[in-house]
Structures are given as structure tokens and as C-alpha cells.
Amino acid sequence: MLQLDNITKSFGVRPALDGVTFAVRDGRMTGFVGGNGAGKTTTMRILLGVLNADAGEIHLDGKPLGAEQRRRFGYMPEERGLYPKMKVREQLVYLARLHGFTQAAAGRNADSLLEELGLGERRDSTLESLSLGNQQRAQIAASLVHEPEVLVLDEPFSGLDPLAVDTVVEALKQRAASGASVLFSSHQLEIVERLCDDLVIIADGSIRASGEREALRTQHSAPRYAIACSSDLGWLRGEPDITVVELDGGRATFDAAEPAAAQRVLRRALADGDVTSFSPQRASLAQIFREVI
Amino acid sequence: MNATTADRRSPRFAHSVALVAEREITTRLRSKSFLITTGILLLLVLGGVIAGGIMSKSVSTTPVAVVSSVSSELSNIPGLEITVVDNRTEAEALVTEGTVDAAVVPSEEGSTIPVTVIAASDAPSSLMQGLGVSPELILLDPSDTSYLLSYLAAFGFGIIFFASGMTFGPMIAQSVVEEKQTRIVEILMSAVPVSALMAGKVIGNSLLAFAQIIAIAVLAIVGLSVTGQAELLALLGAPLLWFVGFFIIGFILLAALFAAVGAMVSRQEDLGTTMTPVTMLIMLPYFAIIFLHDNPVALTIMSYVPFSAPVGMPMRLFLGTAEWWEPLISLAILVITAGLAILLGSRIYNNSLLKVGSRVSWAQAIKG
């Protein structure tokens, strides 16, 4: 597990991060969400050791994070970049070797990764000759080629077409399933919502919310329920502990002061007729995001 | 696809440096423009050596003046164009005005050697070898160790250092900017220490430059001996070796500075501005050596100034005006300067590498 504690960083007089604290758990996809300039990239750069924090500590599996352990990190910076005139496979091999792989092992990893990401046929093309989407795939490959135990990906999906998004999502999920910790940032909240197990929300350099996605959704949801049934629900307005939000014949949305009140409503509706649906309304990621920042 | 522990080890600093250097070298060796430039440089050297050989051979006859009383001494020597004169004064006059390369006159009375050779600055070897008994030699103007030769040597050392500095220096700066411009630098920085990146670049490109300079030196030495210019070789040999030594340190000094100024900009287009001070450090000594090579004071000073020493000190060794300990002191000064340049360079490199956008100012780059 990767644990950040009270990371603080300022550029000159401008504070960038203020007491950033959160955890990235093993085998899980952690979404890192925040507006432009919220501090995502700075946090990631500090994680990778590209920038130094002014204060705060980072631990990996309980030990202070050092350069040695960072070699096992995979990083995809916000600003994409590989050597334009170098062949795709060659750059992957070079990067893997920089991370300590032997030539042979680096070659094997590069080959299987290129197949996996659908770049097998372009392995000997220079990067600049690839389409933009394929360049993005190559970039992902560059962050995965040394079998990292921790993946830090800054906006990995930006600029990808939907097909490539699926390929990349699949690749990341597989890494998480085999035990890697994956931290990724994104502006595309629906992808984050679909993909992440855990969620970290940052705004103005401080963490506004973090934890399991479902727990966060529950925590940030009003105790709101939607019900649809065959009979008229006009009686809801008179129920104690119930606040009607919307009412239209057999359909209603209401807030319950306590779960028991909602169950009482369900029983009454069942007594009156057939209930076609009854569901607690969970906050979407976009709602949580707007609420906390 | 999980790697076994045998497949990966934690990379040591030296290993990372070697990898970066290796990439620099293979990338360069694949670039056509680099191969062409190197080819042209080698051809120029080869051309110069051959031209020198042809010129020395084409003068197949050596004009010699001889006093009639000893003219029989020269009868068996081939390749001489003999002018017979009446007396020693006439012979000396011909030597002084350059009509002949040397004059053979009877030795003064009481001498055991029958003839004396008079020449301006050095005696033609064909004549000296042809005379059965080694004659007495009088040089009219021994200080004139041929202005032309010293000029050529100054020009030669100067242009090689200048050409290498101006080819490889900007190349290093460009490869630093390329990594910054394409942003791959962040990935590299997350994999290896910044100092390993810089060291790899400096070492990789320096090795290429050394290979080039050694190729030039070997070509010059082999060429000179093959074309029968062994005399020049004997004169040039030791200074040439010193030049290689000075060149290596001097080049590392420049390489570190070029890497640093490369890190200060984010686009190739901006490179010219930051590079100017460093290119000046190559150009000024170059022109100074060419224009002031016959000024002993200026040359002595230049042989100690780190940026001109790689050309200045071999020059003085070539002219024979330097004591044996002088190159050692000059080399020590150069080594210390190179060390400082590496420290300053890596500081600038470290401070500037992640700063994208407008050019990083010198103050920012040095203070951080």
C-alpha cells in the first residue's frame, strides 16, 4: 500500500499542495479527481520523485519511499513524451533496461506488451510515424514495460478514442487484478466512475474526500429513494419522517429521515398494489465532486 | 510474463550512465548527418596529408649552390639542381635570397671535415644524406622554424578542436532539448537519477568525439609516415599526443556546459540564445590562436587559459617553447576547470530540466 501523509509543496509563494493525505491500496484502481490546477500532477510528480515535497512523508508497504522502490513504479506523465525518431520496440526495451531489466527480459516484455496493446505490427515503426491513438498506446506501454508494482498515470485516457480506452482499461484492470496498485487521474468522470475501486478528490491542493467509491457514494447520498407502483402515491405527503421531492401519480422520489421510514413506505405501497421498482438513490461521482469542492 | 529476479536487478548508477551513453552513441551512429560530417572531416585530414606528401615530393630536385672547388663532392648525389658559384659569399647570398635551399662550401682551414653546408633554417635531407662524410652545418637563421609550418599546426590543432566542439557541443544541447521538448524527460527522471542522465549524455557524446579525434590522429600519423613525411611526424608526434590528452579534458568541459545550456530551454528554436556564451568560449580561443600564434606572450597565456589550452599548449610544444612541466600544470588547471564546469553544469541541468515554457534565466538555473 502506498500511503501519502501531509504532503505539502509550494512553488515560490504559491501553495500547490497543503497536507495531502491519502492511500493507494494494492490490487485496486484508485481514481484521482480534481479540477485543473487542483494539484493532481504535482502530487504525482512528488510520488515519482520528479519533484521534491517541502514536507510530508510517503510510505510504501510501511517503509519510507526511496529511489530504489520508485524504480518499480510505472509513470505516465501528463505531458506525453517518447523519442519521436526512435522505433517503438526499441524505446520500450531502453526504458525497461533503465529500470534494471536485462536486454533479453526487456525484449520479451516489450513484445508481449505490444501484442497486448495492439501495436504488434508497428513495433519497428518510429514513434512519429504512428497515428496519435497509437502513440498514446505506446505511451501506456512505456509505463507498463518494466512490470511496475505501482502505476501512477496522469490522465491516461485523454486523447484516446473509445476503442483505445477499452484496450487501456483492460490492460490496467489486469495489472490491478494481479496485485499492482493503480493511481490514475482523469477529467472524464464517467470513466473514473466505471473503473475505480477507490476515489480521491482533490481541490485547491487539499484532499476533499477519499475512500472506497461505494462508501463515498453512500456517504454523500441524501437518504433518497425512488419508488414506482401501480397505485397512486398521494398519501406519501402525509407520512411522518418522509419529505417528498417529486410526486407524479404512481412515481415518487422522497427523502426518508431514517431507513425504517422508507421500509414503512414500501410496505404500505405493497399493501396498496404492485411495486415495480423501489431503489435507494446513490449520488453519482459528478454529484459528489460538485458537492465536495 | 512475470520477470524472475535474474531478469532484473536494481540498476547501479554506473549502469544507468552506461545505458544513457549507449543510446546517445547508437542514435548518433545511425544519423546520416553525423556520419557524413565525420567522413568529410576525415577526408579533409587525409587530403591535407596527401597534399603535403605530394608537395614535398613534387620538388624532386633540390636547388643547391656549390663553390666550384668542392663541386666534385656533389657529383654522385641524385636529385640536386646544382648552381656552381665562385666563392662562399656568393653561395651565402643565394641561400639568403632563397634561390637555393642550401650551399656547399669548402670548410674553413684547419677543419677535418672537407665541406660545410649552409642553409637558411634547415638543411635538405637528400643533400645531407648524399654527402659521404657528414658535413659541418651552418644555419643562417635558425630561429625561423618555418613560420608556415607553425601557422599550419596552429590552424590544424585549432580547426580540429573548433570543429569537434562546434559539432558535438550543439549536438549534446540538442539531445537534451529533444528530451525536454518531447517531455520524455519526466519518464527518464522517474527511472534514473538526473545526474546519471547528464553524465550519460556527456560521456556518450564525448566518447564519440574522442573516437573521431583519435581517428584523425591515427590517420595523420599513418598518412605522414606512408607519404614519407617522417620529419614532420617526428616534429608533430609528441604535441599530437598531448593534443589528444588536452582535447579529452577540454571536450568534457565543453560538453558539461552544453548539456547545461540545453536544459535551460524547452524548444530547439530557443537554443541559439543560451548556447551563444558557450560557443563564444570555443570561437574566441580559436581565432586568438590563429591570429596570435606567432606572438609568444599571447601564446603562453593562451596555453594556460582552460578554453584555449587544448590548442595553445600543443602549439607551444610543437614550437618547442614550452618547458616539460608546463603542459602538466596547464592540464591540471584544465582538469580543475572541467570539474567545476561539471558541478555547475549539473546544477543548472538539475534546476532547469523540469521547467517548461520560456527560457530559464541564468540566475534561476544556478540558484534553483
Triad A66, A67, A70: Cα angle to 5°: 90
- Residue A12, C-beta contacts closer than 8 angstroms, at least 6 positions apart: none
Better pLDDT: A93 or A161: A93
Name every chain A residue with its beta carbon within 8 A of the beta carbon of B193. Answer: 67
Tell me the average confidence (pLDDT) per consecutive run of 10 residues in chain B, 368 residues long: 54 88 92 86 82 66 81 75 84 82 80 78 69 72 58 77 87 90 85 89 91 84 76 74 88 91 88 90 86 84 90 84 89 93 87 77 80
Mapped onto helix, strand or coil, the DSSP state of residue A211 is strand
Contact A83 B182 (CB under 8 A): yes
Residue of B17, B5, B193, B114 lying closest to A105 (CA atoms): B5
Contact A100 B182 (CB under 8 A): no
Rounded Cα–Cα distance for residues B235 and B221 (Å): 11
Name every chain A residue with its beta carbon within 8 A of the beta carbon of B191. Answer: 71, 95, 98-99
Gyration radius (Cα) of chain B, Å: 27
C-alpha cell read off for B342: 561539471
- Rounded average pLDDT over A108-132: 91
Name every chain B residue with its beta carbon within 8 A of the beta carbon of A145. Answer: none
C-alpha cell read off for B310: 587544448
Rounded Cα–Cα distance for residues B97 and B102 (Å): 11
Checking DSSP bridges between strand B115-119 and strand B102-106, what pairing results, if any? antiparallel
Q: Where are the alpha helices (DSSP H) in chain B?
A: 13-30, 32-58, 88-97, 125-130, 147-181, 184-191, 194-226, 230-263, 271-292, 296-302, 309-319, 326-352, 362-367
DSSP state of A12: T
Nearest to A101 among B7, B20, B185 (CB): B7
Q: How many CA atoms lie within 13 A of B250 on its CB side?
A: 32
Rounded Cα–Cα distance for residues A154 and A51 (Å): 15
Q: How many CA atoms lie within 13 A of B161 on its CB side?
A: 39
C-alpha cell read off for B113: 671535415
End-to-end CA distance of chain B: 42
Contact A50 B186 (CB under 8 A): yes
Mapped onto helix, strand or coil, the DSSP state of residue A279 is strand
pLDDT band (50, 70, 90) for residue A136: confident
DSSP state of B133: S
Residues A262 and A225: beta-carbon distance below 8 Å = yes
C-alpha cell read off for B57: 615530393
- Rounded average pLDDT over A228-239: 88
Name every chain A residue with its beta carbon within 8 A of the beta carbon of B178. Answer: 83
Name every chain A residue with its beta carbon within 8 A of the beta carbon of B13. Answer: none
Rounded Cα–Cα distance for residues A18 and A10 (Å): 8
Give me the amino acid identity at A140. Answer: I
Nearest to A81 among B183, B192, B193 (CB): B183
Contact B184 A70 (CB under 8 A): no
Q: How many CA atoms lie within 13 A of A200 on its CB side?
A: 26
Checking DSSP bridges between strand A181-185 and strand B80-85, what pairing results, if any? unpaired
Residues belonging to chain A = 293
Checking DSSP bridges between strand B136-139 and strand B115-119, what pairing results, if any? parallel
Nearest to A81 among B2, B27, B187 (CB): B187
Predicted confidence at residue B147, as pLDDT, reads: 61
Rounded Cα–Cα distance for residues B100 and A62 (Å): 91
φ, ψ for residue A146, nearest 5 deg: -100, 25
User: A240 vs A237, A248, A258, B313, CA distance in Å?
Assistant: 8, 19, 11, 101
Predicted confidence at residue A184, as pLDDT, reads: 94
Predicted confidence at residue B3, as pLDDT, reads: 44
User: A196 vs A32, A38, A200, CA distance in Å?
Assistant: 9, 19, 10
Q: Is the dihedral of CA A58, A143, B267, B274 positive or negative?
A: positive
φ, ψ for residue A192, nearest 5 deg: -60, -45
**Environment class of residue B92 by beta-carbon count within 10 Å: exposed (0-12), middle (13-18) or buried (19+)?**
middle
Rounded Cα–Cα distance for residues A21 and A8 (Å): 10
Looking at the complex, does the CB of residue A272 fall below 8 Å from at least one CB of chain B? no
Mapped onto helix, strand or coil, the DSSP state of residue A121 is helix
Cell 607519404 locates to B227
Looking at the complex, does the CB of residue A75 fall below 8 Å from at least one CB of chain B? yes
Predicted confidence at residue B366, as pLDDT, reads: 82
DSSP state of B78: T
Better pLDDT: A147 or B134: A147
φ, ψ for residue B335, nearest 5 deg: -60, -45
CB pairs under 8 A between A and B: 86
Name every chain B residue with its beta carbon within 8 A of the beta carbon of A116. Answer: none
In the stretch 6-65 of chain A, residues with CB closer than 8 A to chain B read 45, 48-51
Portion of chain A with pLDDT greater than 70, in percent: 100
Contact B182 A82 (CB under 8 A): yes
Rounded Cα–Cα distance for residues A176 and A180 (Å): 5
Contact B10 A71 (CB under 8 A): yes
B contact test, residue of A41, A78, A98 with most B CBs within 10 A: A98
Q: How far is A76 from chain B (nearest CA, A)?
A: 7
Contact B7 A97 (CB under 8 A): no
Predicted confidence at residue A64, as pLDDT, reads: 92
Name every chain B residue with its beta carbon within 8 A of the beta carbon of A143. Answer: 187
As a whole number, the mean pLDDT across chain A is 89
Residues A106 and A92: beta-carbon distance below 8 Å = yes
Rounded Cα–Cα distance for residues A225 and A252 (Å): 8
Residues A144 and A113: beta-carbon distance below 8 Å = yes
Give me the amino acid identity at B93. Answer: A
Rounded Cα–Cα distance for residues B217 and B215 (Å): 5
- Residue B146, C-beta contacts closer than 8 angstroms, at least 6 positions apart: B121, B122
Contact A50 B354 (CB under 8 A): yes
Predicted confidence at residue A163, as pLDDT, reads: 83
Mapped onto helix, strand or coil, the DSSP state of residue B118 is strand
Predicted confidence at residue B1, as pLDDT, reads: 43
Rounded Cα–Cα distance for residues A165 and A136 (Å): 10
φ, ψ for residue A36, nearest 5 deg: -65, 135
Instruction: Centre a 10 Å sphere on the Cβ of residue A68 and count the other Cβ atoms it contains.
Output: 10
Predicted confidence at residue A112, as pLDDT, reads: 93
Is the pLDDT at A231 greater than 60? The verdict is: yes
pLDDT in tens, A39-73: 998 999 899 888 888 999 999 999 998 888 888 89
C-alpha cell read off for B213: 579525434
